[in-house]
Amino acid sequence: MLRSMTAYGRKTHSTDIGRFTVEIQTVNRKFLEININLPMELRRFDIDVRRWISNSLWCGQVNVMIQARFYNNLPLVITPNIALAKQLKKAWDDIADSLDIDKSFSLEMLKGESALMQVDSDLQNENDYKDLLKLTVQDALAQLVEMKEKEGYSLRLDFEKRLTHLQLSMEQIANISAHHPVKYKEKLSKRLEEVLPGCVENEDRLLRELVVFAERTDVAEEITRFNSHLAQFETLLNGKDGGVGKTMDFLTQEMNREINTLSVKATDLEISRLVVDTKSCLSKIREQIQNVE
């Protein structure tokens, strides 16, 4: 199913151990890039969160904000760094001796030393915290995916309209190019009669010129390949598999390549107009594909 690359999901769950809130936002990126902001108490679950997300998303920048409020006991252990505190006190005493001032010492002197307190998570029932976190992440993901699919449906409708336009353009180009040799024959025959009226060699010259012209202006191969890419694009559009954005982008590049080759061979003004229109339509499709997961 077609999914947009930009979406947002948010979910909150509470149990006896606390209240977890997960917010997930995705934006355009060619590859999957996951940025997670976890509370200190839950950082040990970083790899798990990444795995849960990568199981549901294929590409895009994913920004995850996780907030936790603990009701009873804070799952942290704070250990004072006594050795460092002793060294700091000695340093202050040395300064006092050097400056011949009072050696009075206050804990205020140490408040800026972040290394004085070592903080570690202490999850007594780790699985309880993990289960609550997983439930909240997966529910936020479900909301995110729902929005992706809703926007993806709008993209699909737009693609279907443009694919129909491209199919009609190819039919018109094929129809016009099929009459090229006949028109060229009439034009060349008239020209030869004006220059060499009644010449017996006119017919041979005419046939040789027609063969060269037909080979030079034949666009049947380009139209066939273009239509093949178009059919593959439509199959992806109607398929149930996700993660098709990159393949769609590749197919539009190939269609653009074929229409460029066709434009070089085209000698008809109407075909040239259709080529420009087709390129414009492909450009709009490629622009929209950048938002397809």
Q: What is residue 200's predicted lDDT score, i.e. its pLDDT?
A: 46
Asked if residue 91 and residue 15 are part of one domain, the reply reads no
Asked if residue 189 and residue 90 are part of one domain, the reply reads no
Asked if residue 113 and residue 58 are part of one domain, the reply reads no
**What is the pTM (predicted TM-score) of this model?**
0.71
Asked if residue 141 and residue 38 are part of one domain, the reply reads yes
Residue 34 lies in a domain: yes
Asked if residue 15 and residue 44 are part of one domain, the reply reads yes
Q: What is residue 209's predicted lDDT score, i.e. its pLDDT?
A: 56
DSSP string, 101-119: ------GGGGTT-GGGEEE
Residue 257 lies in a domain: yes
Class of residue 32 by CB neighbours under 10 A (exposed 0-12, middle 13-18, buried 19+): middle
Asked if residue 199 and residue 135 are part of one domain, the reply reads no
* Interior/surface letters 222-253, b for 16+ CB within 10 angstroms, e for the rest: bbebbbebbebbbebbeeeebebbeebeebbe
Q: Parallel, antiparallel, or unpaired: how do β-strands 60-70 and 18-27 relate?
A: antiparallel
How many Å apart are CA 200 and CA 94, to the nearest integer? 120
Look up the domain containing 221 and give its range.
150-289
Task: Kindly report, residue by residue over 145-200, the tens digit of the pLDDT.
Answer: 999 999 999 999 999 999 999 999 999 988 887 766 556 555 555 555 555 455 54
Asked if residue 164 and residue 93 are part of one domain, the reply reads no
Asked if residue 138 and residue 23 are part of one domain, the reply reads yes
Do 22 and 10 meet the contact criterion of CB atoms below 8 Å apart? yes
Asked if residue 52 and residue 15 are part of one domain, the reply reads yes
Task: Kindly report, residue by residue over 186-214, the tens digit of the pLDDT.
Answer: 555 555 555 545 554 545 555 565 555 55
Asked if residue 84 and residue 64 are part of one domain, the reply reads no
Low-confidence residues of the chain, pLDDT below 50?
Answer: 196, 200, 202
Q: What is residue 163's predicted lDDT score, i.e. its pLDDT?
A: 96
Asked if residue 280 and residue 194 are part of one domain, the reply reads yes
Asked if residue 154 and residue 142 are part of one domain, the reply reads no
Q: What is residue 188's predicted lDDT score, i.e. its pLDDT?
A: 54
How many Å apart are CA 50 and CA 42, to the nearest integer? 13
Q: What total number of domains does the chain contain?
A: 3
